[in-house]
Structure 1
Amino acid sequence: MNAAYFQMFARYNQWANNHVIAACKTLEQVDLDAPREAFFPSITKTLNHLLVGDTLWLARLRGEIRHMALNEVPWPLFDDYKAARIAFDEDLIAYVDGLGDDDIADVVQYKNVAGKPFATPRNVILGHVFNHQTHHRGQVHSQLIGAGCPSLEIDMIYFARLQGYSQ
């Protein structure tokens, strides 16, 4: 895998997150906080988990230490979450854009939230970050439908077609 592959995914991730943000903006805060079926029991909690996870992984990739619980809700208000998500996605794109092909396979040393040490290739971590986003974004999508929002077309292929990766 090369750096361009992950640069594409960073942009797809931002694009899909922007679609989720647009759908969430149609709801009231009470609807975002309402109990919903998913691993994290509300739209707010699921979105916060995603951004907490992303924050932790990017810190690890940079050799930084961050302490956050995976069920923490640092952005309980949607407007605060939205600002943090938009800024984070820009930061992630800048990080990935700064990687060369040689950097992608480097092994990253880090500790998980329980303090256990790991050594994982950067490409595996980046793959996990984007896969984790897709996994929980799918849960948010289901929660949004349950809140009365229309279904979102956020599959990778839609992004690829818009960007000219697919014809």
Structure 2
Amino acid sequence: MNAVTPILRLHQHRVWATHHLLEACGHLSEEQLHQPHEIGQETLWKTICHMYAAEFVWLAALQGTDDAIAPGDVAGKLPGNQEGEGAATSRTMLIERWQKLDQRWSAYLNSLTPEDLTQTIYRKSSSSYQGQRIGSQAMDVLLHVATHAHYTTAQAINMLRHSGLTDLPPSMLITLARSEAVT
């Protein structure tokens, strides 16, 4: 096993958990999606949009765009000539965009080599470093994207619970592994 293998597994889990989360969100009303919570990004809708935006901008950074923004944000650049694309306004729109983003992630991850993990990836900080261009190893960026998604998924599941949903989505890596082992 090389260093890429666990990275790929964490990202497989990220996609799997996100798909289950988005499916669970489909059982909520618009009012429940926008209900305030004292966790995450204040609402479930803002939290899942935040998850999408993080995956969007970090993939762009991994691909060489250090100041990318997610559609709907107000500053920076969108990779792939998507200037002017607004924020997602519906679950359907967000899911469609996420499916396209998942395809881009898949292409990137499928080409990943152990040598790629040591490359320096640059990103202009949006907050704590006040716009400074900061370099990190690709390995750290890839781990960050996966752990950020897992952490934020846990917040979103808590919001689902507080919104009254009782059939909560699976989110643990071991649950994914066991589902694959079932014959």
TM-score normalised by length of structure 2? 0.81
* Secondary structure, aligned partner of 2:122: strand
Letter in 2 for 1:110: R
**Residues 72-118 of structure 1: per-residue CA shift (max 9 Å, x gap):** 89223111111122222222122111111111122213322242111
Bigger shift: residues 52-61 or 65-74 = 65-74
Task: Indicate how the Cα distance of structure 1 residues 13 and 85 shifts in structure 2: closer, same or farther if over 3 A, else same.
Answer: same
Q: Deviations for 1:33-57, whole angstroms, at most 9, x for unmatched residues? A: 1212313111100001111111111
Determine what percentage of the aligned residue pairs are the same residue: 21
Q: Which amino acid aligns with 1:76?
A: T
**Partners in 2 of 1:42 and 1:24 — Cα distance?**
12
- How many angstroms does 1:71 deviate by? 8.2
Q: Which amino acid aligns with 1:111?
A: K
Match of 2:132 among 92, 101, 116: 116
Instruction: State whether residues 110 and 117 of structure 1, in contact with CA within 8 Å, keep that contact through their aligned partners in structure 2.
Output: yes
> How far, CA to CA, are the matches of 2:180 and 2:144 in structure 1?
23
Residues 60-75 of structure 1: matches in 2 within 5 Å? Answer: 60-64=61-65, 65-68=67-70, 74-75=87-88
For 1:71 and 1:20, locate their aligned partners in 2 and report how far apart those are by CA, in whole Å: 23
State the match for 1:163 in structure 2: 180
Query: Does 1:105 find its partner at 2:82?
Result: no
Unaligned runs of 5+ residues in structure 2 are 75-85
1:124-148 Cα deviation digits (max 9, x unpaired): 0000000100111111000011111
Q: Distance in 2 between matches of 1:63 and 1:145?
A: 38
| Runs of 4+ residues over 3 Å off in structure 1 | 67-73
Q: Which residue identity is paired with 2:35?
A: A
Stretches of structure 1 that go unaligned for 5 or more consecutive residues are none
In structure 2, the residue corresponding to 1:41 is in which secondary structure? coil
Cα RMSD (Å): 2.3
Please report the TM-score for the alignment, with normalisation by the length of structure 1: 0.88
CA contact (8 A) 2:73 2:87 kept: no
Structure 1 residue aligned with 2:90, among 50, 66, 77? 77
Which secondary structure does the structure 2 equivalent of 1:36 belong to? coil
**Contact map agreement 1:33 1:44 (CA 8 A) in 2:** yes
